[in-house]
Structure 1
Amino acid sequence: MEQEEEIIVVPINNDLERRIADAFEIFDHAGNKTVDVREVGTIIRALGCCPNEAEVQEMLVAIEDPATPGNVHLIKFLPYVAQIITEHKFQPASPENLLDAFHALDPEGKGYLTKEQITMLMTQDGEPFTQDELDEMLEIAIDPHTQTVPQYTFLYVHFFFLALA
Structure 2
Amino acid sequence: MAEAVVSDVHKKIRAVFEAFDNESNNTVDVREIGTIIYSLGCFPTQADLHDLIAEVEKDHTGYIYLDNFLPVMTKVLLEHKFPPIPEDLLLQAFEVLDKEKKGYLEPEELTKYMTQEGELFSQEEMDEMLTALADRDNNVLYYKDLISQLTIDPDM
Please, what TM-score do these two structures have when normalized by structure 2?
Answer: 0.57
1: distance between equivalents of 2:12 and 2:97? Answer: 37
Where in structure 2 are there 5+ consecutive unaligned residues? Answer: 1-5, 152-156
Over aligned residue pairs, what C-alpha RMSD do you find?
4.0
User: Match for residue 78 of structure 1?
Assistant: 70
Where in structure 1 are there 5+ consecutive unaligned residues? Answer: 1-12, 142-152
> How many pairs were matched up?
134
In the TM superposition, residue 74 of structure 1 has moved relative to its aligned partner by 2.2
Corresponding letter in the other structure for 1:51: P
In the TM superposition, residue 124 of structure 1 has moved relative to its aligned partner by 2.1
Residue 62 of structure 1, aligned match among 52, 55, 60 = 55
User: Match for residue 89 of structure 1?
Assistant: 81
**Structure 1 residues 119 and 43: CA distance shift in structure 2, 3 A:** closer
Are 1:65 and 1:73, in contact at CA under 8 Å, matched by a contact in 2?
no
**Structure 1 residues 89 and 57: CA distance shift in structure 2, 3 A:** same
In the TM superposition, residue 94 of structure 1 has moved relative to its aligned partner by 1.5
20-29 or 75-84, which moves further after superposition?
A: 20-29
Percent of aligned pairs with the same amino acid: 34
Please, what TM-score do these two structures have when normalized by structure 1?
Answer: 0.55
The runs of at least 4 aligned residues of structure 1 exceeding 6 Å deviation read 102-106, 113-119
Highest RCO, 1 vs 2 (Cα 8 Å, sep ≥ 6): 2
Structure with larger Rg: 1
